[in-house]
Chain A
Amino acid sequence: MRRLRTVGLEEARDVVVVTPRRGLPELMHRALADTGALLHGHFGLHGGKHTEYFIRFRALSRSPQLLGLVADHLVSRIEPDVTTVIVPESAGFFLGDALAQRLGAGIAVARTDLQRRPARSLYNGNVRAGDRVLVVNDVVTTGASLEPLLDLAADHGATVTGVLVFGALDGPGFRAILNRRGVPGDHLLEAGPAWTLHPPDLCPACGRGELPLLPAAELN
């Protein structure tokens, strides 16, 4: 049995919800299907949950046109007064780089730990006191993994003015974390009706035992 398959257009419409609902969804569903960025398999997420779908942002970002399209849509949703974009050392870099170019901001890359989670430490670039920081990543579940980046900005005396991600699988969870941290932010995609996140003990793929579990972070 194949461990992974790419998801086609029809299925993508049920798996992924795109906001806003006018114009953009068709484009995004096509982009995911055409680049093979939406995968079906059996994945373990950072927070411990299991899922049968995964968005591989690296595949989508290989197309400069699609990356530009995503960046244009995201950049319109925040105040453009940004001096520094912080991204983790991951596929999120490509989105962060595209956004930084549009905002005329500098880019700072945070380290990732052994599990490829963003860490509270800079790998490259600078964050200075008084900087207005935009935190960017490709796909998160609730965005809890981005909290070390918010702390990192605070460590340097900078202010986080926004958080932008391409996908937040658990949209309500993402908004809750932004509210708790008091930071504005937005995303383009979240998990649709056909895409469920399961606790490991309730995961149907584990129950069937057919597909090996792949750590999602290894795929980007």
Chain B
Amino acid sequence: MLRDEVLELLSSSDPTDLAEAARAIGRDLAHHRTAEVDEVRRHLEQSSGDAFAQGFALAVEHIASSFAVAGAEADELAPLTRAIALRAGWRKVLTALAGGAARPSELALATALSRSRISHVLAGLERAALIERPRVEPPGDGRERPCRLTPLGYRALSEGARAPVVAGADLDAGVVATTYLLAKLLGRGRASKAALEDALAEHLDRAAIPRVIDTALRAARNAGLAVVGPDQAVTMAELHLQDVVADALADALADDRPAIPVIDLARARAPQGGLVVVRSELMRSRWDIAIARRGLDDLRLIASADWLTGEVDQIAPRDRPFAMVYDSPSLARSERGSEHARALLHRADSVHCYAVAGTVLPDGIAAIEVA
């Protein structure tokens, strides 16, 4: 599918179109066309105020950059691991160093190589930055300076013991995994890990699948898009959160249910003698009604309309301390640029946000984990 077609699908608000776009990114564009994926990501970031689209863009960026870094590292390591595999002397000396030997005399004993061969090998390893030989004070016999592995040396040695990595294929597979996951979440709000494994089996060696899935899930989770439940199902985070909050608010309206856990979690954050100010666009009538219904004098609600009408100082009076609670990470993120919100946040004793476990929130906002 052409990039323009994908961009057009992404402009639609129909979930089926969005899912089709996500599939196209994973299936076609990711195939050695990372520049096109980048363009889609920029388009999503610039053109859409929709939280999920922004998260989608962020997730694609996360996955593409983590695999690009992994690829670059693997490219850098590849000649070294090949050299170690080819040179028995290097391999023996590195293994002895990893085993605790340090001085040339100890290495000679451990490897059964001659002293002159050892010093030749050490010079080569030092040039390749696989080992380092710190100077000793006071300066003694140069030939007896102790050696140790550098971090790169450790990496090269351990990588050499494993199967070789095909970096380029990983990037594509990673983007495929992320976009498949997002397409499923867009379409149904849920995806199973097993289905994700099956989808990747077309693109990837079995052994690499768990690592790619982990990276894809981490990207989606860091972007605040998905949550992995105890049943290993992946659920769209914001939807999941909305369900939890909506259920709790429905309970708060019912006369026969004493527990209003979501509201009490927020109230527990209130400063002594102060208020909890909930910033909510979701179900805001319901919040307002629940607060009035239960006679909760320490809870207030601010909706966008209150910024417009300037009633915020009546809702959160300047003479009372308060904790502010966002109803969702998407609102907390989207409001970072708002002057109104900044003025209020500045007055807040603390700022919190309802979130599912593992969601990454902007600096200064503490999660109230509800799932």
Contacts and interface: CB of A to CB of B under 8 A. Distances in A.
Contacts of B286: 89
B308 A89 contact: no
Nearest to A214: B308
A66 to B, nearest CB: 13
Interface stretch (B31-39, B227-235, B309-317, B322-330): B309-317
A89 B309 contact: no
Interface string A87-107: 001110110010000000000
B21 to A, nearest CB: 24
B304 interface: yes
Interface stretch (A44-52, A55-63, A177-185, A189-197): A55-63
B292 A93 contact: yes
Contact of A219 (B254, B305, B310): B305
A218 interface: yes
Which DSSP category, helix, strand, loop or mixed, fits chain B's interface? helix
Contacts, number: 44
Contacts of A218: 304-305
Interface in B220-256: 250, 253-254
Interface string A19-63: 000000000000000001001000000000000000010110010
B242 to A, nearest CB: 14
A82 B253 CA distance: 21
Contacts of B17: none
B289 interface: yes
B309 A124 contact: no
Interface in B280-316: 285-286, 288-289, 292-293, 304-305, 308-311, 314
Contacts of B293: 97
Say what secondary structure dominates the interface of chain A.
Answer: mixed
A56 B289 contact: no
Contacts of B292: 93-94, 97
Contact of A58 (B250, B288, B308, B310): B288
Contacts of A94: 292
B285 A90 contact: yes
A121 interface: no
Contacts of B253: 109, 123-124
A140 B50 CA distance: 31
A159 B148 CA distance: 89
A4 B307 CA distance: 11
A90 B310 CA distance: 20
Contact of A6 (B285, B288, B305, B309): B309
A145 interface: no
Q: Which of B253, B285, B292 has the most CB of A within 10 A?
A: B285
Contacts of B289: 89, 93, 109
Contact of B309 (A59, A90, A112, A123): A59
B309 A39 contact: yes
Contacts of B254: 124
A220 B305 contact: yes
Contacts of A62: 314
A77 interface: no
Contact of B311 (A59, A90, A91, A93): A59
A3 interface: yes
A219 B285 contact: no
Contacts of A124: 250, 253-254
A218 B292 CA distance: 19
A89 B293 CA distance: 12
Contacts of A39: 309
Contacts of B308: 3-4, 214, 219
A4 B309 contact: yes
Nearest to B315: A62
Nearest to A219: B305
A187 B293 CA distance: 24
A127 to B, nearest CB: 15
A109 B254 CA distance: 11
Nearest to B304: A218
A110 to B, nearest CB: 11
A39 B308 CA distance: 10
Of listed B254, B292, B308, residue having the most chain A CB within 10 A: B308
A36 B310 contact: yes
B285 A93 contact: yes
Interface in B253-296: 253-254, 285-286, 288-289, 292-293
Contact of A36 (B285, B288, B311): B311
Contacts of A3: 308
28 contacts: A3-B308, A4-B308, A4-B309, A6-B309, A6-B310, A36-B310, A36-B311, A39-B309, A56-B309, A59-B311, A62-B314, A89-B285, A89-B289, A91-B285, A91-B288, A93-B285, A93-B288, A93-B289, A94-B292, A109-B289, A112-B285, A116-B285, A124-B250, A124-B253, A124-B254, A214-B308, A219-B309, A220-B305
Given A91-B285, A97-B292, A218-B305, 14 more contacts: A6-B309, A56-B309, A89-B286, A93-B285, A93-B288, A94-B292, A97-B293, A109-B253, A109-B289, A123-B250, A123-B253, A214-B308, A219-B308, A219-B309
Interface of B: 250, 253-254, 285-286, 288-289, 292-293, 304-305, 308-311, 314
Interface of A: 3-4, 6, 36, 39, 56, 58-59, 62, 89-91, 93-94, 97, 109, 112, 116, 123-124, 214, 218-220
Closest 4 CB pairs of A and B: A219-B305, A124-B253, A93-B289, A89-B285
